[in-house]
Amino acid sequence: MMHKFILVILFGLSSVASAQTRELPDFTDLVEKQGAAVVNISTVQTQSTLTNRAFPGAPNIPEDDPFFEFFRRYMPPNTVPREFESRSLGSGFIISADGYILTNTHVIESADEITVKLTDKREFRAKVIGADRRTDIALLKIEAAGLPKVTQGDPNKLKVGEWVVAIGSPFGFDNSVTAGIVSAKGRSLPQENFVPFIQTDVAINPGNSGGPLFNMKGEVVGINSQIYSRTGGFMGLSFAIPIDVATEISNQLIASGKVSRGRIGVMIQEMTKELAESFGLARPGGALVAAVQKDGPAEKAGIEARDVILKFDGKTITTSSDLPRIVGATKPGSKVLVQVWRNGSTREITVTVDEIPADEKVAGRAGKRGSKAPETFNRIGLALNELTAEQKKQLEIDNGLLVEDMQPGTASRAGIRPGDVILSINNQGVKTVEQFNQLLGKIEKGRNIALLVRRGGTATFITMKLNDNDNN
């Protein structure tokens, strides 16, 4: 009986293992059909450096010669320029049979020579049609015909947990295949405002950059671009640019060799639960306007700081990171309807979209401290002062209160600092210290406060909650 029981258990385990094995994906057909469209990209960049030639005009003396020390001591060294070649490797993929290839800008940037190698070992010198640093997309062209090309998919149909495959040249190992799953979608990364990244756990390493990310149908859904790493190697966090973003960029590069993006001239921040409560919104959503550029499209249209942009051109703004992408994809000169939340209700404003300059910079100056004596500390620990006319002119604002001093309390814990300028409290602009303290006194303990704070050249909302230790 014991033997029969064991056999039953083993048979059961074997059945489970077989079922699990059958469920594992098979990537062989995908690789066979799509691998030929993936290319290896190598670049050469000539760089100059200075090198010391110790004994100009002296005979070629080996270091072990007794006279070497004599020449080293008594003949002055001479610094001469020397050129050397810097080489790098990356990946790409063919998007048209006549030789257009997509890759990353950082793969080919500053290259003097770009070579594309196909899986059949043919090599071509590539020409750069155009490159866009903001999305890290570059378009190359090789002179060839009848090339294998990829099929483009829809990254919007990707599901978190879905299997995906990368093909590329990590560390120069051509046509290496790695697989994993989609970890998340629509990721925003620091300094990357125009790309809703696809996050995966596919093994991506140096040399994979610019290569394709395939879904299980064999369609390209992204371009592998970045990894998160503390060591320089793969740590399970890889990021790909959605192929629809890349296609829009490549179409513009083919048409004009450059990329044109829209702008409306606002600085925004994310809406938190606390901010939503203080603004009277049922749930967090939209992009909170922290500051409006003077004489920019938004200011001319009537958009104000403290507005919450809920929709742009009919598209819902779920998170603040949605807005730069949607605005950037809007053709400059277009008149667009913008839905904003202001003072407890929605309104629609028509904005004429402008174009982002080639090298847009934001600059600002902090105002000087006020000359008048500050008031006493208020219930959140701030000593405020009204701005002078000179400070208002310098900061290009009409009203606001300068934080002269502070004591430990709610405001200090929230991150307010001396020198900050408070522009509003709970979406209501402030002109005098008395007005601010009156508004503050009406807020009940346990409620959230949203202060619009100007610091240097930027403005941001800072939230805090009144607790039992704050005086009424």
**What are the residue numbers of the active site?**
106, 136, 209
Question: 349: closest CA among 358, 339, 335?
Answer: 339
DSSP run (H or E) holding 94: strand 78-94
| Backbone phi and psi for residue 232, each to the nearest 5 degrees, phi listed first | 95, -15
- Torsion angle of the four alpha carbons 441, 446, 447, 452, in this order, in degrees rounded to the nearest 10: 80
How far is 332 from 329, CA to CA, in rounded Å?
Answer: 9
At residue 31, the 3 state secondary structure works out as helix
How many whole angstroms from its chain centre is CA 269?
Answer: 14
| Backbone phi and psi for residue 184, each to the nearest 5 degrees, phi listed first | -165, 165
- Torsion angle of the four alpha carbons 243, 248, 249, 252, in this order, in degrees rounded to the nearest 10: 150
**DSSP code string of 135-146:** TTEEEEE-S-SS
- Torsion angle of the four alpha carbons 457, 408, 387, 462, in this order, in degrees rounded to the nearest 10: 40
| Sign of the alpha-carbon dihedral angle for 310, 312, 313, 318 | negative
| Sign of the alpha-carbon dihedral angle for 103, 104, 106, 109 | positive
DSSP run (H or E) holding 301: helix 297-301
CA distances from 422 to 83, 99, 277, 325, 386 (A): 55, 57, 19, 29, 10
At residue 59, the 3 state secondary structure works out as coil
Within 10 A of 42 (CB to CB), how many other CB atoms are there? 20
At residue 118, the 3 state secondary structure works out as coil
| Backbone phi and psi for residue 220, each to the nearest 5 degrees, phi listed first | -75, 125
- Which tokens is 41 given? 């990209």
C-alpha angle 65/69/74, rounded to 5°?
A: 135
The maximal CA–CA distance of the chain, rounded, in angstroms, is 98
- Which tokens is 342 given? 């202001």
How far is 309 from 392, CA to CA, in rounded Å?
Answer: 27
